[in-house]
Amino acid sequence: MRRIAHALEAQLRTALERAFPDEVAEAQQAGTPLDPQLAPASQPEFGDFQANGALALARRLKQPPRVIAGAIVDQLAADSAFAELCEPAQIAGPGFINLTLRPRTLAAELSARLGDPRLGVPTAADDPVQASFAEVLAPVIVDFSSPNIAKEMHVGHLRSTIIGDALARVLEFRGHPVLRLNHVGDWGTQFGMLITHLKQVAPEALSTADAIDLGDLVAFYRQAKARFDADEAFQATSREEVVKLQSGDPVSRRAWDLLCEQSRREFQLIYDRLDIALSERGESFYNPYLEAVVADLAASGLLVTDAGAQCVFLEGVTGKDGRPLPLIVRKSDGGFNYATTDLAAIRYRFAAPPEGDGARRLIYVTDAGQASHFAAVFQVARRAGWVPEGGRLEHVPFGLVQGEDGKKLKTRSGDTVRLKDLLDEAVERSEADLRRRLAEEERQEDEEFIQLVATTVGIAAVKYADLSTNRITNYQFSFDRMLALAGNTAPYLLYALVRVAGIARRGGLGAGEGESAEGFPDPLVFSEPQEWALVRQLLQLDTVIAEVDEELLPNRLCSYLFELSQAFNRFYDQVPVLKAEEPARGSRLALCRLTADTLRLGLGLLGIPTLERM
């Protein structure tokens, strides 16, 4: 529908220019062109699109909205290209123009998607409404997951990891070069504490491979932190160790490498289970660039020394005393902080190769609690001139994962839920539910099938429950709800896909990935309202994916897939398919085929694998 909408907008602008040539020319010269305001119809009875611009143009054109709408409609009626696409335009209410696509237009658009692996979704470079070709070719960086070394991944990392991966998949499908960066916490004062503790209590780890594992490291971190908080001598030694690490002391570096490598192995187990691809580029990567950040800020006149610290005072951000708040980039003791590292990352990521990544769009997927931090860092980066013209800095905030009691999700003992334990439980519950249903149906399946389905459904349920929620809000984690076969859940959609694909296969025209499009009627023929409703839903895919690309809200794709499955169920329950006569039978099987392909593609973009049977 995106291509059609683009064509309709061009026809509306031409009609507006012909109806009001002097006013359009004057508006263009003033840099305020007249806009027909084309949008999808708010209700099905209003057609496919509505042009709502007549109301807004009434004051500028000094005519009643219905008169303006009538003049535009008269010009559309004389446009043969418009007549090919649409039924005659209708004026409604105070001046809305309702546009209904011709059946042959919809059927042809649907036919073009049969056998197309992209299902009619253009790449950003081929999108008729893509604004900037330069932006399409430049890398997009998605910064997500970002666990801390020597700590286990917990449920707090779940949303960043899953949301970031889904956004990266959509952007990649749209044809953007995407760098998936894992900005792990692998540098800073905590390493002085950890290395000091390691040298004192497990010196063998510095010379013996795999002397400790991550489980030990987690307890190890807690022990080191307890000593750091209670022992001033330990604190002093830890600070000295930071200096040694930063200056490249080989023993300190060996300890640091060991801590990082042990953590990476455990992180990778989680990423493999979730089918997440990431390139690690931790805080340590930017350490050589921190001095340049300070120098740049000083050269630009932004850097101010206040109470011994070097900082940039923010514009429009004040404290309780009404004075501008500072963003500290160098502490009074000469050390750097997270803000300095984040500024160095922005500077490097926007810089042209070989000095940097040459990106035009940076996307940071972190919890909403970091919104103020990123707003401050982004402001300083812009004022320093590190963001190129057209460059985009975007924070993708998300809310908390809560328990069913509405409080932050915790274990019964009050600890943070480990991500590994959460995924294990999801698969175990999925397996128990599957075995129960098999027993009820007196159905025999081998163990390999049970494990495949349980693992796929369990992981999919966790992912989809997160992605289907508007990321800005908190959401309540409920295994019972996310594993349900009814409602907007992964099991429901996976089952819907299995069902739809099975219908298409029984019709003899296939519904597997990469299946040929041969054998369908040409042209496709539809007559029932349920068919047309499904046709229109299928044709919305390109618009939905473009919206996710732009607005970074994966729940929109989830809602679309759920609504598509519902539209299919209404169609299949009320309209015969396999028993219909040709060409209705083949045309309806085409709807089955495209529904299966669309569900499979959409779930894949969410990082959810599908099943042939359940």
For the chain, domains (ranges, CATH) are 2-101 (3.30.1360.70), 103-137+484-614 (1.10.730.10), 189-277 (no CATH), 419-482 (no CATH)
Q: What whole-number percentage of the chain has pLDDT above 90?
A: 69
**CA pair distance 34, 36, nearest whole angstrom:** 7
List, in sequence order, every residue forming a beta bridge with 140; answer none if it has no partner.
Answer: 178, 361
The pLDDT tens digits for 39-51 are 999 888 889 999 9
Structural contact between residues 106 and 3, judged by C-beta atoms closer than 8 angstroms: no
Q: Which residue has tokens 């329950």?
A: 573
The pLDDT tens digits for 148-188 are 888 888 888 899 999 999 999 999 999 999 999 999 999 87
Residue partners of 516: CB distance under 8 A and separation at least 6: 115, 510
**CA pair distance 307, 332, nearest whole angstrom:** 7
| Closest listed residue to residue 165, CA positions, set 188, 146, 152, 148 | 146
Backbone phi and psi for residue 19, each to the nearest 5 degrees, phi listed first = -75, -35
Choose the weakest-confidence range: 131-135, 408-412, 451-455, 487-491.
Answer: 131-135
The pLDDT tens digits for 431-484 are 999 999 999 998 999 999 999 999 999 999 999 999 999 999 988 889 999 999
Residue partners of 341: CB distance under 8 A and separation at least 6: 187, 283, 286, 287, 290
- Alpha-carbon separation of residue 339 from 75, 306, 359, 377, 503 (angstroms): 57, 16, 20, 7, 56
State the DSSP H helix or E strand holding residue 28, giving kind and residue range, or none if neither: helix 21-29
First CA to last CA distance, the chain: 33
List, in sequence order, every residue forming a beta bridge with 554; answer none if it has no partner.
Answer: none
| Closest listed residue to residue 54, CA positions, set 10, 96, 12, 5 | 96
Radius of gyration for the alpha carbons in the chain, expressed in angstroms and rounded? 29
Average model confidence (pLDDT) for the chain?
A: 91
Taking 80 as the threshold, does the pLDDT of residue 510 lie above it?
no
Written as six digits, the tokens of 94 are 């105070």
Q: Which amino acid is at 539?
A: L
Taking 80 as the threshold, does the pLDDT of residue 332 lie above it?
yes
- What confidence tier does 414 reach under pLDDT thresholds 50, 70, 90? low
Written as six digits, the tokens of 100 are 């209904």
Written as six digits, the tokens of 122 are 């253009």
Backbone phi and psi for residue 11, each to the nearest 5 degrees, phi listed first = -65, -40
Taking 70 as the threshold, does the pLDDT of residue 210 lie above it?
no
Q: Where are the alpha helices (DSSP H) in 202-249?
A: 214-230, 232-246
Average pLDDT for 605-614: 93
State the DSSP H helix or E strand holding residue 397, giving kind and residue range, or none if neither: strand 392-398
The pLDDT tens digits for 79-103 are 999 999 999 999 999 899 999 999 9
| Closest listed residue to residue 294, CA positions, set 349, 255, 259, 337 | 337
- What confidence tier does 364 reach under pLDDT thresholds 50, 70, 90? very high
